[in-house]
Amino acid sequence: DKTVSLRKDLSEMHEWITQAEEEYLERDFEYKTPDELQKAVEELKRAKEEAIQKEAKVKLITDSVNNFIAKAPPAAHEALKKELDVLITSYQRLCSRLNGKCKTLEEVWACWRELLSYLDAENKWLREVEMKLKTTENIQGGAEEISEALDSLECLMRHPEDNRNQIRELAQTLTDGGILDELINEKLEKFNTQWEELQQEAMRRQKSLEQSIQSAQETDKTLRLIQESLAVIDKQLTAYTADRVDAAQVPQEAQ
């Protein structure tokens, strides 16, 4: 009987739609690791593709039902037509929900990858700050050399806040949705702790270098005055020597 065959096809499609909804849309998902999140994205992509492939089956059932209705007595029309309309509505709703959830999870995955890229960039900068602090720890030289080291450190510390702001916003977006919250909080706590420590150390080092510059400048000034004084004395002594002046005949300081 054609009606039985058509109803069987309709029933099988209904069962597939219900199963897909239960498996991909009705379950509560928790994403605690990047692997779980990535796996969920891949599964939804496959489900979406499978649903798209079922379009041909739905169209075939639709054509078969419409062809039967065109030839069958009016009494058989209403029930089959109603079942077909329910099937088409359910199928379209499933495709729409799968597309929406797949798009959402892809955006979440992209958000996670973007967060990692910003963290990598900022951690690279923190390593540069750490190396700079080590190289300026016991710097030797005069005021000019110390000043160059200070300028270099201050230039490095004029790092824009943009990346750090992005990290906060992306992390907030993910953790608000319960996505990778434990992992993200762990990474952010480590990053923020190191950031604060290096910021404080950099401020202390800048102050220390400024004091070293001042001390070096004072030392340079003292040495310059000594050199000038020695040059005057040397000139006087040279003149005394040229005139064959006896030491007892010159002022005490010259003696």
Tokens of 120: 């990598």
Q: What is residue 84's predicted lDDT score, i.e. its pLDDT?
A: 92
Domains delineated in the chain: 2-157+164-212 (1.20.58.60)
pLDDT value of position 62? 94
> Residue 223, by phi and psi: left (phi above 0), alpha (psi -120 to 50) or beta?
alpha
The predicted structure's pLDDT at residue 178: 85
pLDDT value of position 233: 85
Give residue 137's pLDDT.
87
The pLDDT of residue 245 is: 67
Average pLDDT across the chain, whole number: 89
Q: What is the pTM of this model?
A: 0.77
- Which candidate, 114, 115, 107, places its Cα nearest to that of 40? 107
Parts of the chain with a pLDDT under 50: none
Dist. CA 122–CA 194, nearest whole Å: 11
The confidence score (pLDDT) of residue 254 equals 54
Q: In this structure, how many other beta carbons lie within 10 angstroms of the beta carbon of residue 174?
A: 20
What gap in Å lies between CA 115 and CA 218, rounded to an integer?
A: 49
Find the DSSP H helices in 29-76: 34-53, 55-71
Q: What is the pLDDT of residues 160-197, one digit of tens each?
A: 999 999 999 999 999 988 889 999 999 999 999 999 99
Answer whether 24's CB lies under 8 Å from 98's CB. Answer: yes
Helix (H) or strand (E) holding 241: helix 181-242
pLDDT digits (tens, 9 = 90+) for 202-217: 999 999 999 988 888 8
Residue 253's pLDDT is: 59
Give the chain's largest Cα–Cα span.
147
pLDDT at 76: 63
Asked if 167 and 115 count as a contact pair (C-beta separation under 8 A), the reply is yes
pLDDT at position 252, please? 63
